[in-house]
Structure 1
Amino acid sequence: MTNNRGGTAAGTVLGAATVATGLIAGVWFAYVCSVMPALARSDDRVFVEVMRNINDVIQNPVFFTPFFGALILTAIAAWQSRGTPAKPWALAALILYVAVFVVTSAVNVPLNDALAAASEPVRARADFETPWVAWNVVRAGLTAVGFVCLLRALSVRGAGDRGAR
């Protein structure tokens, strides 16, 4: 039994949003701490080839489900949390994830597309690596903070549930 708007279904949506956001935060973090530092050690041809391969294979349902799901589920969770202590946390997470979505769509994806179309590896890498890495750090940070906000939303939602028993 719960006193929060939407009851158990709202808690399930909030939990799913949290998991999806955490998965995407982990993807961006993996690039920050391992993928890009490893590729930085590679020559230009290898760097470009591997990034092109990554950009091709990441376009799959296993990635797209949490990537788009985090946005949709967090929006639903924010709407369902109106009138509860979880609302500001869910809303903050939504704003942060929208920013991640904008950065990805406006910066990282166009850089990926330019890399795919480039013919000269040295020039392609020079135009790609520094801005892509910097903006990936931004989206990793935004997603991680959004994940923490969703954890807090779950926490205050759960505290409200315990108080109603």
Structure 2
Amino acid sequence: MSSAAALPGSASTDPVLVAATIGTGLMAGLYLAFDVGVMPVLARREDGRFVAAMRRVNDALDDDPAFGALFIGVFVATGVAARRLARADRSDAARRARVAAVLYGLSVVVTICVNLPLNRRLRTAPGTSYAALAAARAAYERPWRRANAVRTAACLGALALLAGAARRRAVVRP
């Protein structure tokens, strides 16, 4: 049997593809949790509590090395999986992984170009008066939520593609 394929159930899926799929699922889950849980709850809070909570969340995530490694590692793993699948003549799975890399890459670009700058502006916004807090929130909340929805959709699409590639039992040996 070639290294390009295995009979269903006879071998495990490529570990790089598995890592890319799990990592993408983790990122999609995080973004989705903000879409359906965190932001709707914070939307009901007054401006000062909203700003304080988002500053704490952003401080915890934006500069965390483990989160950064996951965030970038998923992109790298997806690209590596696509290349390994292509080398193993698994063209359909490789195509899925390439498109997944593009979608996940979109989430990276949105994060770097929209979410992180908004987080930094919120971090440094003056917060001593009701008017300043209201202005900081108004400049932040809607654009951040829209960008997060894009990240969520991109990651969910990438996850579906990677799961489809993995489901085909694409076995690749280094």
Calculate the TM-score normalised by the size of structure 1. 0.89
Tell me by how many angstroms 1:67 deviates. 1.2
Tell me by how many angstroms 1:117 deviates. 1.0
Alignment: residue pair count: 157
Percent identity of equivalent pairs:
37
Distance in 2, Cα, partners of 1:101 & 1:24: 11
Residues 35-68 of structure 1: CA deviation (Å, up to 9, x unaligned): 0000000000000000000000113244223211
Aligned to 2:129: none
What one-letter code is carried by the residue in structure 2 that aligns with 1:105?
I
Q: Which runs of 4+ in 1 moved over 4 A?
A: none
Distance in 1, Cα, partners of 2:136 & 2:93: 45
Aligned to 1:74: 78
Aligned to 2:48: 45
* Structure 2 alignment gaps of length 5 or more: 6-10, 127-131
Q: Is the 8 A contact 1:10 1:80 kept in 2?
A: no
Distance in 1, Cα, partners of 2:119 & 2:157: 25
Distance in 1, Cα, partners of 2:119 & 2:59: 9
Task: Name the SS of the counterpart of 1:144 in structure 2.
Answer: helix
Aligned to 2:117: 110
Calculate the TM-score normalised by the size of structure 2. 0.84
What one-letter code is carried by the residue in structure 1 that aligns with 2:162?
L
- Asked whether 1:25 is paired with 2:28, we answer yes
What one-letter code is carried by the residue in structure 1 that aligns with 2:97?
A
Q: What is the RMSD computed on CA atoms of the aligned residues? A: 1.9
Task: Name the SS of the counterpart of 2:40 in structure 1.
Answer: helix
Please give the residue correspondences for 1:56-95 in structure 2 after superposition, counting only pairs within 5 Å: 56-58=59-61, 59-82=63-86, 83-84=89-90, 85-95=92-102
Q: Is the deviation greater in 91-100 or in 57-66?
A: 57-66
What one-letter code is carried by the residue in structure 2 that aligns with 1:55?
N
Q: Is the 8 A contact 1:21 1:66 kept in 2?
A: no
Q: Is the 8 A contact 2:17 2:77 kept in 1?
A: yes
* Structure 1 alignment gaps of length 5 or more: none
Distance in 2, Cα, partners of 1:38 & 1:56: 19
Which of 55, 58, 70 does residue 58 from structure 2 map onto? 55
Give 1 or 2: higher helix fraction.
Answer: 1
What one-letter code is carried by the residue in structure 2 that aligns with 1:24?
M
Distance in 2, Cα, partners of 1:79 & 1:103: 24
Q: Is the 8 A contact 2:103 2:154 kept in 1?
A: yes
Q: Is the 8 A contact 2:51 2:136 kept in 1?
A: yes
Q: Is the 8 A contact 1:103 1:139 kept in 2?
A: yes
Q: Is the 8 A contact 2:43 2:50 kept in 1?
A: yes
